[in-house]
Amino acid sequence: MQEKTAIVLNTPFAQDVRKGLTDYPKHLSSKYFYDEVGDKLFQDIMAMPEYYLTDCELTIFKTYKEDISGFFQGQGDAFSIFELGAGDGKKTKILLKELIVKNVDFDYRPIDISQNALQLLKASIEREIPEVAIKPLQGTYFDTLADIARHNGKRKVILFLGSNIGNLLHPQAVEFLKNIRTILNEEDLVFIGFDQKKHPQKILDAYNDQAGITEAFNKNVLARINKELGGNFDLDNFLHWEVYDPETGTAKSYLVARKAQRVSIKTLDLTVDFKQWETIHTEISQKYDDEIIKWLADKAGLEITAHFSDPKDHYRDYIFKR
Ligand code: AVJ
């Protein structure tokens, strides 16, 4: 039955926006950056000279593809590669090609919150590496763990690349790794990319590019509220602000109100007031060092099997077992 009065939306996005914009201080989750526009903006970010993370991981994969695929192969039995937050799969393709060249028996199960990204990824894999058996799965990391858990039989290799883990606060990361551990069998592997602590300016530059791509990416959450929830945010009334704390290794993104303003969001039946210079916290991008990673692994009951880094040690990929 439908009411004639305003239809108040109750999707997860709608609920999170209501919560985030009525909390003090205000916040919105970076997971909502990624729609079709956001996916494209993130691809542009990965191609920026300032955003070193992607190049570092590409270098690691190109340099160590034989060793890495050797770990994946284990004793040589068939396995499934699950990739959490697969995105455009640019880096993963290097490993997939190496496994195909080596005639390894595996299938590839990319998982992403974005159905759009998954469709593009599937099409590009079918075009570039048609030998790969691919089975995409749409969902968040959290709700798809249950699907992965149900995958009994074949050995599992779980990829979590690009320092995606950096979007999680340490307690959330521990929780997440613990959850992964519960679905691991003896021979399964987890392969995770961690951006490393480095010169603070290099980190700030990566998240605050001159061209304003990161700004547009950050503001895309407001654009989505306008489009999907009937909001009237004026994106020009907010500025993108990045901070990095070299002690904790936490980079944080904010949207800062340039002036006092009132925003209304029709399908939430919500009015939100901003004071001048009031913030919306949107993202954390955690940076790591050896001690933090050992501590995380320890807390989650995972064992570090190997790690690979780029020549400048700006970025590392770790392999864990239970
Ligand atoms: C996709 C979460 C790894 O935090 O570095 C890039 C997203 N945000 N620029 C990151 C992002 C701003 C990215 N991750």
Atom of ligand 1 nearest to the CA of 163: 3
Q: What pLDDT score does 6 carry?
A: 62
Ligand 1 centroid vs 273 CA: distance in angstroms? 28
What does the alpha-carbon distance between residue 93 and residue 129 come to, in Å, rounded to a whole number? 8
Q: What pLDDT score does 5 carry?
A: 57
Ligand 1 centroid vs 76 CA: distance in angstroms? 34
Ligand 1 centroid vs 3 CA: distance in angstroms? 41
Owner of token pair 């996916």: 39
- The closest residue, in CA terms, to atom 10 on ligand 1 is 285
Ligand 1 centroid vs 274 CA: distance in angstroms? 26
Ligand 1 centroid vs 134 CA: distance in angstroms? 25
Atom of ligand 1 nearest to the CA of 85: 1
Atom of ligand 1 nearest to the CA of 251: 4
What does the alpha-carbon distance between residue 110 and residue 107 come to, in Å, rounded to a whole number? 10
Ligand 1 centroid vs 23 CA: distance in angstroms? 24
What does the alpha-carbon distance between residue 45 and residue 252 come to, in Å, rounded to a whole number? 16
CA nearest 121: which of 79, 85, 148?
Answer: 85
Ligand 1 centroid vs 33 CA: distance in angstroms? 10
What does the alpha-carbon distance between residue 45 and residue 249 come to, in Å, rounded to a whole number? 21
- The closest residue, in CA terms, to atom 1 on ligand 1 is 164
Q: What pLDDT score does 275 carry?
A: 98
**Tens digits of per-residue pLDDT, 27-42?**
999 999 999 999 999 9
Q: Return the DSSP state at 308.
A: E
**CB neighbourhood size of 150 (10 A):** 8
The token pair at 71 is 């770990």
Ligand 1 pocket, mutate which of 29, 141, 167 (most atoms under 8 A from CB): 167
Ligand 1 centroid vs 309 CA: distance in angstroms? 19
Q: What pLDDT score does 192 carry?
A: 98
* Burial class of residue 125 (count of CB atoms within 10 Å of its CB; 0-12, 13-18, 19+): buried
**Tens digits of per-residue pLDDT, 187-197?**
999 999 999 99
Ligand 1 centroid vs 74 CA: distance in angstroms? 31
Ligand 1 centroid vs 285 CA: distance in angstroms? 6
Whether this model's ipTM surpasses 0.95 comes out as yes
Q: Which residues line ligand 1 (CB under 6 A)?
A: 45, 53, 162-164, 166-167, 207, 214, 217, 283, 285
Q: Give me the residues of the chain with pLDDT under 70, please.
A: 1-6, 152
- CA 220, 225, 226, 231 dihedral sign is negative
Burial 269-298 (b: 16+ CB within 10 A, else e): ebebebeeebbbbbbbbbbbeeebbeebbe
- The closest residue, in CA terms, to atom 9 on ligand 1 is 207
Ligand 1 pocket, mutate which of 28, 42, 219 (most atoms under 8 A from CB): 42
What does the alpha-carbon distance between residue 214 and residue 253 come to, in Å, rounded to a whole number? 10
Atom of ligand 1 nearest to the CA of 217: 12
- The closest residue, in CA terms, to atom 5 on ligand 1 is 285
- The closest residue, in CA terms, to atom 13 on ligand 1 is 164
Q: Are 46 and 90 in contact (CB under 8 A)?
A: yes
- The closest residue, in CA terms, to atom 4 on ligand 1 is 285
